[in-house]
Amino acid sequence: MAGLPAVPVPASVEAGGGVADLPSVESGQDVVVRVPATSANLGPGFDTLGLALALHDTVRVRTTTSGTTTVRATGEGAAGLPTDETHLVARSLISTLSRGGFRASGLELDTTNVIPHGRGLGSSAAAIVAGVLAANALLPVDRRLDAAHLLQWAASIEGHPDNVAPALLGALAISWESGYSFHSTRVEVHPDIIPVVAIPELALSTDSARALLPPSVSHRSAAANAGRAALLVHALGADPSLLFPATQDSLHQDFRAQAMLPSATLMRGLRSEGFASTISGAGPSIMTLAVGEAGAAAAEEAVRQLVGQVDTPGSWRILRLAIEHVGAKVGVHQG
């Protein structure tokens, strides 16, 4: 997807016109979007690598003539979210419509949240991708963004591409930035790899975790990560026996440990037993890339044992997740 032009801005907005001046998309449309969780970084792939996981949020969007936007949310984090156009899914949807040169006369959103918020499992990316894809489906066919522009637009809303890319593409996504353009390519994941995710009760926002990173790193750390990230792509795609050395990070995990001490202790404990464990995204969940059913069972047991030593027993969820190979899906709501 290299060589993308910037996402086109509608002429009326460029000319200084407001969103209210834009034509409305057809009312009575009813679309459903299903978006997977994602784990970014995977150790050395900071802001670059991300894996799609079979844990999905669902959003249903109806266009109305009510003049308002309402959001009904159920599930993870629902109680703390806005119910109007400031909701992240609605914001992403409305801004994508306006990028396409349209607005909605009214919107009703129903979201079913399964991805936990602020745990490093890409909940914000899933919300953004849901809004962007729903808007794209609501736009007239000739105003829709193609796959490359969808990635560019969703990544520019999120600020980094490593979660939105696998959420859109499925499997492993390698992303890169060129000027102000984000690009991504999908890589198939070896079928023996089974992610085991340990999710603590306490959340940590990505913004807080990013604030802990130093403005520059040593040449030595950068070189170490370049080698491990390259190895990781090979390990994930072709040779899972290399996952342990391939998930070693030198750029971000140590700096963030102070904000998630139980997670950092859990990850170090798992790695000292030979498990390929990393902080998932910006944390504080820990993801272990296990190999085969026996490997996944061993990882689950090791997590269970270690969690009891680092935190209140029972306060962590331990999930064995499949890889989501396809990515987000959009459809018309059926009955």
Ligand X SMILES: N[C@@H](CCO)C(=O)O
Ligand Y SMILES: Nc1ncnc2c1ncn2[C@@H]1O[C@H](COP(=O)(O)OP(=O)(O)OP(=O)(O)O)[C@@H](O)[C@H]1O
Provide the annotated binding site for ATP.
Answer: 116-126
Kindly tell me which residue out of 62, 119, 149, 183 binds ligand Y, with binding defined by CB under 6 A.
119
Helix or strand or coil: residue 276? coil
**Contact call for residue 118 and ligand Y (CB under 6 A):** yes
Smallest separation (angstroms) from ligand X to the CB of 65 = 37
**Contact call for residue 94 and ligand Y (CB under 6 A):** no
Kindly tell me which residue out of 205, 241, 272, 312 binds ligand Y, with binding defined by CB under 6 A.
205
Helix boundaries (H) for the chain: 11-14, 88-99, 123-138, 147-158, 164-169, 206-211, 219-237, 243-246, 253-256, 261-272, 292-310
Annotated binding site: 116-126
Measured from the Cβ of residue 194, the count of other Cβ atoms closer than 10 Å reads: 21
**Contact call for residue 40 and ligand X (CB under 6 A):** yes
By beta-carbon proximity to ligand X, the closer residue of 117 and 268 is: 117
Place of tokens 């390990």: 235
Strand partners, 298: none
Separation CA 206–CA 267 (nearest Å): 18
Q: Which does 162 bind (CB under 5 to 8 A by kind): ligand Y, ligand X, none?
A: ligand X
Binding region for ligand Y (CB under 6 A) out of 121-129, 186-194, 235-243, 304-312: 121-129
Separation CA 119–CA 233 (nearest Å): 24
Separation CA 272–CA 188 (nearest Å): 28
Binding mask 139-168 for ligand X (x = CB under 6 A): ---------------------x-xx-----
Helix or strand or coil: residue 285? coil
Smallest separation (angstroms) from ligand X to the CB of 86 = 21
Nearest to 93 by CA among 157, 35, 164: 157
Kindly tell me which residue out of 154, 282, 296, 323 binds ligand X, with binding defined by CB under 6 A.
282
**Contact call for residue 210 and ligand Y (CB under 6 A):** no
By beta-carbon proximity to ligand X, the closer residue of 100 and 281 is: 281
By beta-carbon proximity to ligand X, the closer residue of 162 and 324 is: 162
284 upstream amide cis, omega within 30 of 0: yes
Binding region for ligand Y (CB under 6 A) out of 1-9, 22-30, 122-130, 297-305: 122-130
Smallest separation (angstroms) from ligand Y to the CB of 47 = 11
Binding region for ligand X (CB under 6 A) out of 41-49, 145-153, 225-233, 315-323: 41-49
Radius of gyration of the chain, Cα coordinates, nearest whole angstrom: 20
Separation CA 182–CA 148 (nearest Å): 9
By beta-carbon proximity to ligand X, the closer residue of 47 and 57 is: 47
Separation CA 21–CA 203 (nearest Å): 40
Segment 125-164, which members bind ligand Y (CB under 6 A)? 125, 127, 163
**Contact call for residue 109 and ligand Y (CB under 6 A):** no
Give 70-136 as a DSSP string.
EEEEEETTGGGS-SSTTSHHHHHHHHHHHHTT-B-S-EEEEEEE-SPTTSSS-HHHHHHHHHHHHHH
Burial of 18 (0-12, 13-18, 19+ CB in 10 A): exposed
Smallest separation (angstroms) from ligand Y to the CB of 100 = 22
Q: Which does 88 bind (CB under 5 to 8 A by kind): ligand X, ligand Y, none?
A: ligand Y
Smallest separation (angstroms) from ligand Y to the CB of 259 = 12
Name the site residues for ligand Y (rule: CB under 6 A): 40, 57, 81, 87-89, 111, 113, 117-125, 127, 163, 205-206, 281-282
Name the site residues for ligand X (rule: CB under 6 A): 40-41, 46-47, 120, 160, 162-163, 206, 209-210, 281-282
